[in-house]
Amino acid sequence: MAYNFLLFFLVFIITPVSSGRPLLNTSLPSLPFQFPETNNLCKDTYCIKTASTDYGRLVQEIPFGVLQPSSVSDIVKLVKSSYDSPIPFTIATRGNGHSVRGQAMAKDGVVIDMAALRTVNVINGIRVNGNSSSGFYADVGGEQLWIDVLQTSLLHGLAPVSWTDYLYLTVGGTLSNAGISGQTSFHGPQISNVLEMDVITGKGELVTCSKDINPDLFYAVLGGLGQFGIITRARIVLNKAPTRVKWFQIIYEDFSKFTKDQEHLISINGFDYVEGSLITKQSPAGNFFSPADASMINSLASNKGILYSLEAVKYYDDQSLNTIDEVLQTIFNELSFNSGFVFSKDAPIVDFLNRVRGEEVYLESLGLWDVPHPWLVLLVPKSRIMDFNQAVLVNIIQKQSLSAGPFIVYPFNRNKWDERMSVVIPEDEEDMFYVVNLLNSAGGTVDPAVIDKQNDDILQYCQQNGINVKEYLPHYTKKEEWIKHFGKKWNVFKQRKYQFDPKMILSPGHRIFNFE
Ligand code: FAD
């Protein structure tokens, strides 16, 4: 999805949240436990301030210090010293700080700044290996960014198969959630494309795990919200890299036709990526479209109130160049959009995969990237997506028009998600479920509390109407809410926590086991 965060700022003229905001109170707590003697535990204002905030700009938690590791053994020592301490201290791993609700923070504890490891692991952080008969893979440090995994594997003509929309996220950070995007229906989330990991458990033990070696730890860590261990290496599946993409946006007035076509496209072996998004007056067609097309689409959206844009991508290279148009025509013949509503682009693979970066750089140059992000991401059962559209997307998102989003909606095939992994998806047995990304920005004239109230209303509507949604990038403040979130996986999740992190040291920012 082209995120079009820029549009938010064009529609809602804002001032950067940092201006005029009080600085963090970074006075350090005095603590009853012994921290390890180490040169790389940073306690200066800059370290503390950075580790106390994240992309969400909604939560601040002050740690005691920030470990800037220069090796995996620095992290082992830190965790071991907490585990061996009579009063253990909490430890959070900060990948690239792109959580939205303090998930990588540790109040009064230690935050591990994985960016420090990235700077020392420039050469060895990503190693490509394997062969054509047994398959290719990359051994990647948990601290590495997906953009670097892409660039390095492309040097070998290879690439990972499963992505996130945005690539400046760490391997450890996305594997702790799931790692989803338009490729997920075809290859599974990123956690379904990991062959092996090295993990430092909450006991300070460095353990290798895979589906055959220490499988309990392996499945616990995948989608495990950092609760069971710190990922220091992940072996990621690679395939032959495509060179270019045919990239489409197809506009629908009718949600039922839009979702029927999405579901069809993820059921066949046609496209390589399928997503979709809302177009409304407040969330207009973005820079994928020519100015003339955007203007036509936006005036239709103004008339109709809401349109749906199905985004689909087909990879190709020199070998498939001569046949691709014919293949695409066959697929298009099976869809139910109105003629004249397909818009296309041809782009290098990197431009497509790294599509959100341009917007980030531009917004950053204006000082407008670092604003509050009260996001809500829901996994919705397929059988309720029509109800959800009317009640939430139309009656709440479109009619209230609090922000420009982006608002992204697309389905997944359930069979690409392994039940043994910690990640939580809707519990019904339907073959598909939807992800609905309500990626609101706030700041300036938009109060994050107002958007949070809207988010609460959406969750309440789902609860009252029996729509059994699950949150992706979940955030709760009460233990009972976490128990409900995990549902039938709770007992196993809890038991694995006692097994791998019995002193509840790791990842306190989620507040699953660490309540005050
Ligand atoms: P952090 O936010 O730093 O950490 C996230 C969690 O993982 C924390 O609990 C942390 O303690 C833990 N963690 C971090 N590193 C490790 C490690 N090595 N071992 C164990 N635990 C660790 N997500 C998607 O799935 N698909 C998307 O398309 C997508 N797009 C996004 C676009 C933007 C602009 C942003 C800001 C986020 C997006 N995300 C997406 C969400 C993203 O996956 C999460 O923010 C995730 O937290 C990764 O960010 P990070 O690497 O900065 O990790």
Residue 224 sits in a domain whose CATH number is 3.30.465.10
Report the distance separating Cα 163 and Cα 174, nearest Å: 10
Residues 313 and 369 in one domain: yes
With beta carbons less than 8 A apart as the criterion, state whether 422 and 216 touch.
no
pLDDT at 4: 54
Mean pLDDT (whole number) for 415-422: 98
Residue 442 lies in a domain: yes
Bridge partners for 506 per DSSP: 91
Mean pLDDT (whole number) for 378-393: 98
User: What is the percent of the chain where pLDDT is above 90?
Assistant: 86
Task: Mean pLDDT check: name the lowest of 27-31, 125-129, 346-350.
Answer: 27-31
173 CB under 6 A from ligand 1? yes
Report the distance separating Cα 327 and Cα 475, nearest Å: 43
95 CB under 6 A from ligand 1? yes
Residues 220 and 276 in one domain: no
Residues 174 and 315 in one domain: no
Report the distance separating Cα 103 and Cα 51, nearest Å: 11
Report the distance separating Cα 94 and Cα 222, nearest Å: 17
Residue nearest to atom 53 of ligand 1 (CA): 173
177 CB under 6 A from ligand 1? yes
Mean pLDDT (whole number) for 150-172: 98
97 CB under 6 A from ligand 1? yes
> pLDDT digits over 279-303, tens only?
999 999 988 999 999 999 999 999 9
Q: How far is the CA of 176 from the centre of ligand 1 (A)?
A: 7
Mean pLDDT (whole number) for 118-133: 90
Mean pLDDT (whole number) for 377-404: 96
Residue 449 sits in a domain whose CATH number is 3.40.462.10
Tell me the pLDDT band of 373, cut-offs 50, 70 and 90. Answer: very high
Domain termination residue (choose one: 240, 275, 297): 240
User: What is the percent of the chain where pLDDT is above 70?
Assistant: 92
Long-range contacts of 31-34 (CB under 8 A, 24+ apart): 31/64, 31/89, 31/108, 32/87, 33/82, 33/85, 33/86, 33/87, 33/88, 33/89, 34/81, 34/85
Domain carrying residue 451: 244-472
Residue nearest to atom 7 of ligand 1 (CA): 173
Residue 164 lies in a domain: yes
Residue 507 lies in a domain: no
Q: Please identify every residue annotated as catalytic.
A: 98, 165, 275
55 CB under 6 A from ligand 1? yes
Domain termination residue (choose one: 240, 274, 300): 240
Average pLDDT, the chain: 92
- Top mutation candidate among 148, 170, 506 for ligand 1, by most atoms within 8 Å of CB: 170
Residue 309 lies in a domain: yes
> pLDDT digits over 437-481, tens only?
999 999 888 899 999 999 999 999 999 999 999 999 999 999 999
pLDDT at 367: 73
Residues 248 and 132 in one domain: no
Residues 210 and 267 in one domain: no
Residue 344 lies in a domain: yes
pLDDT greater than 80 at residue 32: no
What DSSP state is assigned to residue 326? H
Q: Give the C-alpha distances (Å, rounded to integers) separating 62 from 110, 168, 345, 470.
A: 9, 24, 46, 29
pLDDT at 348: 98
With beta carbons less than 8 A apart as the criterion, state whether 279 and 398 touch.
no
Residues 201 and 262 in one domain: no
Q: How far is the CA of 301 from the centre of ligand 1 (A)?
A: 33
CA triplet 306, 307, 312: central angle to 5 degrees? 150
Tell me the pLDDT band of 429, cut-offs 50, 70 and 90. Answer: confident
Residues 218 and 248 in one domain: no
Residues 167 and 230 in one domain: yes
Residues 404 and 299 in one domain: yes
Q: How far is the CA of 478 from the centre of ligand 1 (A)?
A: 22
Domain termination residue (choose one: 216, 240, 264): 240
Report the distance separating Cα 274 and Cα 265, nearest Å: 7
99 CB under 6 A from ligand 1? yes
Report the distance separating Cα 179 and Cα 140, nearest Å: 15
**How many domains does the chain fold into?**
2
pLDDT greater than 60 at residue 12: no
Q: How far is the CA of 100 from the centre of ligand 1 (A)?
A: 9
Q: How far is the CA of 254 from the centre of ligand 1 (A)?
A: 34
Residues 202 and 296 in one domain: no
Mean pLDDT (whole number) for 400-412: 94
Residues 283 and 336 in one domain: yes
Residues 185 and 260 in one domain: no
Residue 278 lies in a domain: yes
Tell me the pLDDT band of 26, cut-offs 50, 70 and 90. Answer: very low
- Top mutation candidate among 6, 107, 164, 438 for ligand 1, by most atoms within 8 Å of CB: 164
What tokens appear for 170 in the block? 């760490």
Residue 67 lies in a domain: no
Mean pLDDT (whole number) for 228-255: 98
Residue 349 lies in a domain: yes
Q: How far is the CA of 107 from the centre of ligand 1 (A)?
A: 19
With beta carbons less than 8 A apart as the criterion, state whether 359 and 4 touch.
yes
What DSSP state is assigned to residue 212? S
